[in-house]
Structure 1
């Protein structure tokens, strides 16, 4: 039952992140601007951290769960359960967003999906998108590892993590839409198909790699220093 509670929490958390974060980009991006969209993603994490954090740790991101797995803070069984729940939550959030936009009678072409190339953001290449996502995820996960390493940081951890997510979005939105989260990218891509689906590989592999590099750097620079 305890594990089930964790998986349900991760489902709800990822559902909320995608619905509110991607939803803000898809329905009000022009009015909100990059900073507004970034804050929608970041504030979602701030709110969720204090609600589901005590239940599951509020990963809502397979890349974060992978780091917890390699750091031996998450079992292989729970890693699998978390990822399934996160992906399912992202799909559910994207599906509700799709239904909301579709109810207007307009064609659904924007679910806050990630992308690159001509016609997306400033038009960076696939290679540069891959590099960007590695760097953004590295910064995000490195901050998570730092703020969660000390038990005394518990009261501010959610705020720091949420603001860091907003921080990386401010740069990343105009480049790739900012993934740093394979589940967040998978939800919109599976519903839209087309370019969003064909470009998904970048937003699955790069965040995982960036997260692992952050874990390695933290272990080298922070843990051994102590």
Structure 2
């Protein structure tokens, strides 16, 4: 467990440094719409880190995945608490290194790459309640698409590790894309998806990063609890394809040639 926690710390620190520098580089580029580059960067970097860390520690690197893992019994409460502590320390280390090497002007302009609802020098952004709704919705989408597959042992084994990591990374990139392009408000840094990522720069940079900081904690954890309730009511058996056509009204099977011979059709096993 301690080796896995050390892996989470190291991976989170490396992810924070790599991901934030890439996002700042995209936003500071001379592209017409650099925000379209950010989801692509998130997808590539998240996929690489997931492929490496999933076999070692589970590849959480976020209190969100650790919390939902604890709710679903994938990890114990003790391991979850140690993981979250390691992720927070890793985030602080990663952003401390970034703060030491980044251009101070860029650090000020992009608030050290932290989670913000009203950035530096901007008197407007998004309302906390709107940011909370975006955080909740985007986190739920990531959980419903990515975690539903990742925690399904049978399908994970059938698809393989690379494909599972591809789906999880893709869901994260999709959430970032939606939060950046749909809201389109200056000063809003987009969905956080990771409270530890938001806490590191808030501690080191401060200022506007504390404005509405609670949103980036409450939204994901509400999404985790709602997803847990929904996941308990998802079908436990896959959709089964059967031979035969089934009448909509009386559910009797029939065939054009032989009444009792089955033809192509399907039904959901209940």
TM-score, shorter chain, exceeding 0.5: yes
TM-score w.r.t. length of structure 2: 0.75
RMSD over aligned Cα atoms: 2.3
Higher CA-based Rg: 2
Q: TM-score, normalised to structure 1's length? A: 0.89
Pick closer, same or farther for the CA change 1:215–1:224 going to 2, 3 Å.
farther
1:154 maps to which of 150, 153, 160: 160
Task: Say yes or no: does 1:219 pair with 2:225.
Answer: no
Q: 1:186 and 2:182 equivalent?
A: no
Q: Tell me if 1:129 matches 2:102.
A: no
Quick one: structure 1 residues 197 and 159, their matched pair in 2 at CA, closer, same or farther if it must change by over 3 Å? same
Q: What residue in structure 1 maps to residue 178 of structure 2?
A: 171
Larger relative contact order, structure 1 or 2 (CA cutoff 8 Å, min sep 6): 1
CA contact (8 A) 1:113 1:177 kept: no
Say whether the 8 Å CA contact 1:17–1:41 is kept in structure 2: no
- 5+ residue gaps, structure 2: 239-269
The range that moved more, 72-81 or 106-115, is 106-115
Is the Cα–Cα contact under 8 Å of residues 120 and 176 in structure 1 kept in the other structure? no
For the 8 Å contact 2:11–2:53, the answer to whether it is kept is yes
Residues 163 and 51 (structure 1), Cα distance of their counterparts in 2 relative to 1, 3 Å cut: same
Q: Which runs of 5+ in 1 are unaligned?
A: none
**1:64: Cα distance to partner?**
0.9
In the TM superposition, what are the counterparts of 1:79-94 in structure 2 within 5 Å? 79-94=80-95
Distance 1:131 1:107, change over 3 A: closer
Matched, 1:29 2:50: no
SS of the residue corresponding to residue 234 of structure 2 reads: helix
Equivalent position of 1:20 in the other structure: 18
Which structure: greater strand fraction? Answer: 2
Structure (1/2) with the larger helix percentage: 1
Question: 58-67 or 17-26, which moves further after superposition?
Answer: 17-26
- 5 Å-filtered alignment, 1:100-119, equals 100-101=101-102, 104=103, 106=105, 108-109=107-108, 110-117=111-118
Contact 2:9 2:86 in 1 (8 A): yes
- Specify the alignment match of 1:11 in structure 2: 9
Counterparts of 1:5 and 1:116, CA distance in 2: 36
Hey, what's the Cα distance between the residues in 2 that align with 1:200 and 1:88? 18
Matches within 5 A, 1:68-83: 68-83=69-84
Partners in 2 of 1:132 and 1:224 — Cα distance?
Answer: 32
| TM-superposition CA deviations, 1:122-167 (whole Å, max 9, x none) | 8221100001100010001112222211232333111111111111
Instruction: Return the offset for 1:66.
Output: 0.5
CA contact (8 A) 1:131 1:206 kept: yes
Equivalent residues, number: 222
